[in-house]
């Protein structure tokens, strides 16, 4: 327990006593047993903030304004409701425009954005107001710190104030692992509702995921297909392709379903409406425990980005 990382099988009692020893404050709302459970009928998960979030959606990293607008529009038309953007992606305004232009009621849509270390963490109120202005959708469903970094606690405490004002509904972190969370959590008041980290079959985070989930925090994976430049290797992996063939689905769908069955929310990136539709179609098949295990064995601890 005094090591840097908790093993995957750490018991609930061990986690609870660690929380107590480290004086980690529980979220204001008591964490109910429902928090973190995936509802495969409704395709949502209950967050510790009391809000429901869809368990699959769209990532918008590297999408130009036009691609982003078209992709978000395609997502919403196909029944998807979860969108991940960030200040760094430069496309918050395009996301907001697509949300405003759609026929889908605002309250059914869940938009995540992020603020970035450096200037934004040093002046977080301005960064948050800028995000609200660019998105222009009334409130932000969830805001994340994009990375750990100087002034991250200050930036998070500023986000907490916007939660009190109802301008942000839920808070989260990105690129935080066990060591970073151990240091960060005792310094803030609202337990994050979500942590978004790199997760794919070649970089599985099998020790970190249960640690985060045991804190009542939902895990979301970025680069589900390994990220651009790596997708053909991952989607062409023979183990994944064989499983896809057995279920008459695509490799992309197998990877996304593997995430969901591990309790990991997925936000695949795409600028192709056919892929966007395919990536939402994950509920007419189920992987067996053996298939999950086969994919678990593909882990190479191979990170595809620096953070």
Ligand X SMILES: NC(=O)c1ccc[n+]([C@@H]2O[C@H](COP(=O)([O-])OP(=O)(O)OC[C@H]3O[C@@H](n4cnc5c(N)ncnc54)[C@H](OP(=O)(O)O)[C@@H]3O)[C@@H](O)[C@H]2O)c1
Q: Residue 58 pairs with which residues in a beta bridge?
A: 83
Which tokens belong to 110?
Answer: 């869940």
3-state secondary structure of 268: coil
Please pick, from the candidates 44, 73, 170, 174, the single residue that binds ligand X as defined by CB under 6 A: 174
Q: In this chain, which of 140, 216, 270, 287 binds ligand X, going by CB under 6 A?
A: 270
For ligand X, the binding residue among 244, 275, 280, 295 (CB under 6 A) is 275
Strands 44-46 and 38-39 come out as: antiparallel
Integer CA distances (angstroms), 48 to 16, 87, 126, 234, 284, in order: 16, 25, 26, 33, 28
Q: For residues 18 and 225, which CB has a smaller minimum distance to ligand X in the complex? A: 225
One of 59, 148, 192, 210 touching ligand X (CB under 6 A): 59
Provide the CB-side half-sphere exposure for 289 (13 A, CA): 0
Q: By CB under 6 A, is residue 226 in contact with ligand X?
A: yes
Q: How far is the CB of 139 from ligand X (least distance, A)?
A: 20
In a 13 Å sphere around the CA of 52, the CA atoms on its Cβ side amount to 14
- Catalytic machinery residues: 89
The residue whose two tokens read 């606690």 is 153
Using the rule CB under 6 A, which residue among 99, 132, 181, 267 binds ligand X? 267
Which helix (H) or strand (E) is 173 found in, with range? strand 168-174
Pairwise CA distance, residues 304 & 276, whole Å: 22
> Does 61 help bind ligand X (rule: CB under 6 A)?
yes
Q: How many residues bind ligand X (CB under 6 A)?
A: 28
Among 141, 205, 237, 278, binds ligand X (CB under 6 A): 278
The DSSP code for 56 is: B
269 in contact with ligand X (CB under 6 A): yes
CB of 229 to ligand X, least distance (A): 8
Shortest distance (Å) from residue 126 CB to ligand X: 21
Q: Are 135 and 111 in contact (CB under 8 A)?
A: yes
Query: Near ligand X by CB under 6 A, which window of 38-46, 57-65, 130-138, 163-171?
Result: 57-65
Give contact residues for ligand X (rule: CB under 6 A): 59-61, 84, 146, 174-175, 196, 222-228, 231, 235, 252, 267-272, 275, 278-279, 307
């Amino acid at each position: 327990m005094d090591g840097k990382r908790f093993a995957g099988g750490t018991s609930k009692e061990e986690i609870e006593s660690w929380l107590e020893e480290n004086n980690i404050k529980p979220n204001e709302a008591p964490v109910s047993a429902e928090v973190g459970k995936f509802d495969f009928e409704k395709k949502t998960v209950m967050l510790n903030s009391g809000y429901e979030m869809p368990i699959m959606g769209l990532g918008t990293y590297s999408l130009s304004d036009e691609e982003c607008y078209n992709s978000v529009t395609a997502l919403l038309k196909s029944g998807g409701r979860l969108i991940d953007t960030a200040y760094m992606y430069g496309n918050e305004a395009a996301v907001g425009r697509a949300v405003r232009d759609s026929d889908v009621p605002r309250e059914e849509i869940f938009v995540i954005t992020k603020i970035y270390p450096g200037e934004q963490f040093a002046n977080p109120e301005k960064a948050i107001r800028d995000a609200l202005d660019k998105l222009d959708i009334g409130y932000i469903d969830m805001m994340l710190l994009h990375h750990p970094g100087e002034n991250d606690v200050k930036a998070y405490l500023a986000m907490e104030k916007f939660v009190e004002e109802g301008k942000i509904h839920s808070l989260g972190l990105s690129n935080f692992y066990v060591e970073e969370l151990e240091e960060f959590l005792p310094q803030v008041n609202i337990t994050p509702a979500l942590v978004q980290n790199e997760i794919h079959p070649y970089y599985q985070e099998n020790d970190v995921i249960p640690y985060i989930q045991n804190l009542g925090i939902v895990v979301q994976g970025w680069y589900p297909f390994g990220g651009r430049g790596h997708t053909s290797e991952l989607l062409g992996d023979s183990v994944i392709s064989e499983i896809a063939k057995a279920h008459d689905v695509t490799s992309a769908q197998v990877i996304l379903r593997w995430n969901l069955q591990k309790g990991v929310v997925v936000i695949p990136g795409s600028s192709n409406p056919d892929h966007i539709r395919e990536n939402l179609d994950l509920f007419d098949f189920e992987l067996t425990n053996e298939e999950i295990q086969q994919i678990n064995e593909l882990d190479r601890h191979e990170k595809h980005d620096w953070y």
